[in-house]
Amino acid sequence: MMPESLQLIIMGPPGSGKGTQSVALARDIGAEHISTGDLFRYHERSATPLGIQIQDFMKKGDLVPDDITIAMLKDKIASLADNVGYILDGFPRTLNQAISFDKMLTARDCRLDLVICIDVPGKQLEDRLLGRIVCMECSLVYGNHVDGEYTGYCNSCGGKLHKRVDDSDKEVIGYRLKKYEEFSFPIMDHYQEYGILHRIDGTGLVSEVTDAIKEVVATTFKGTLSFNY
Ligand code: ADP
Ligand code: ADP
């Protein structure tokens, strides 16, 4: 049986595998995958007022300002049915966002169960980001590790695959990695204090990293969690 409202955060530098792992885990534990990057890209693609407001930040690899990001996430969380479990991917990215999220949870009388940080060294991250291809429609992530022919269309939804603008320029990639270095430590300290931070080696095969994450999740929710294989 699933515990009610399983709330997880998957953090890690750009390219560490947050999206890849969140999709797999969300499917296996029946949780919703919420990626703030995907939400922003949806707004950009749809040219909503929010999309127009944030497009320059995204292109340059800058963090979108906290007030905009927090408001968007708050709306998303408010739209979820009660007791839905979810995996946050790419949020929080600043301590201020983490503290705001604590308050959101308190207001909803919910808890945060686990924060998993995927660790991968810088050089590998750059290579992965330069090789990353994503679906424009469903945001599914592809990359150099994917076997089989690259057809230009998504295996899952048939959408067109493309390279993200912010993955196309080494300088922008370097800038995003630097920003992560700058902002992530206070966030990790914050969750370390709550005793819910788990760091995972993200350098192995995708399946090995998935297994390591599942082990942490299963240990945390011993006896209350079953995976939908
Ligand atoms: P990556 O997969 O490379 O880690 P994301 O898809 O999570 O990147 O995010 C892409 C961009 O969206 C970021 O560079 C930033 O501009 C914006 N963004 C996403 N999440 C946040 C956030 N929590 N706070 C501020 N900006 C964000
Ligand atoms: P993030 O969401 O943290 O930015 P992604 O999940 O989008 O990272 O992965 C970034 C790139 O690295 C993608 O091309 C993906 O296919 C690839 N990737 C993810 N995990 C691994 C892994 N364990 N080994 C090799 N490549 C990986």
Mutate to test the pocket of ligand 2, among 23, 130, 132, 168 (most ligand atoms within 8 A of CB): 132
Other Cβ atoms within 10 Å of 79 Cβ, number: 8
3-state secondary structure of 7: strand
Strand partners, 34: 88
The answer to whether residues 226 and 119 touch, using CB atoms and an 8 Å cutoff, is no
**Whether the CB of 134 sits within 6 Å of ligand 1:** no
Alpha helices by DSSP H, listed for the chain, are: 18-29, 36-45, 49-60, 66-78, 95-107, 122-131, 170-194, 206-220
| pLDDT value of position 144 | 66
7 Cβ inside 6 Å of ligand 2 = no
Each residue's pLDDT tens digit, 116-152? 999 999 989 999 999 999 998 888 898 765 545 566 8
Residue pointed to by tokens 């997880």:
8
On whether the CB atoms of residues 137 and 159 are closer than 8 A, the answer is: yes
CA distance 66 to 101: 11
**pLDDT for the residue numbered 221:** 76
pLDDT at 33 over 90: yes
pLDDT at 15: 97
Identity of the amino acid at 88: L
Does the N-terminal peptide bond of residue 65 adopt cis geometry, omega within 30 degrees of 0? Answer: no
Q: What is the pLDDT of residue 9?
A: 97
31 CA from centroid of ligand 2 (Å): 20
Ligand 2 midpoint to CA 47 (Å): 27
Phi/psi at 204 (nearest 5 deg)? -80, -170
pLDDT more than 90, % of the chain:
72
Quickly count: other Cβ atoms within 10 Å of residue 202's Cβ.
27
Ligand with smallest separation from the Cα of 19? 2
Pairing of strands 133-135, 86-89: unpaired
Report the half-sphere exposure of 211 (CA within 13 A, side-chain side): 6
Residue 61's nearest CA partner among 142, 163, 170 is 170
Ligand 1 centre to CA of 129 (Å) is: 13
Q: How confident is the model at residue 34 (pLDDT cuts 50, 70, 90)?
A: very high
Q: Pick the residue whose CA is nearest to atom 26 on ligand 2.
A: 145
pLDDT of residue 71: 97
Helix (H, G, I), strand (E, B) or coil at 166: helix
Average pLDDT over residues 80-94: 92
Q: Does ligand 1 have an atom closer than 6 angstroms to the CB of 43?
A: no
For the ranges 17-21, 70-74, 156-160, 169-173, the lowest mean pLDDT is seen at 156-160
Task: Give the tens place of pLDDT for each residue, 216-227.
Answer: 998 887 655 444
Neighbours of 164 (CB within 10 A): 17
DSSP string, 189-208: HHHHHHT-EEEEE--S-HHH
Determine the Cα–Cα distance for residues 69 and 92; give it in Å rounded to an integer: 9
SS3 87: strand
Per-residue model confidence (pLDDT) at position 2: 46
Beta carbon of 92 within 6 Å of any ligand 2 atom:
no
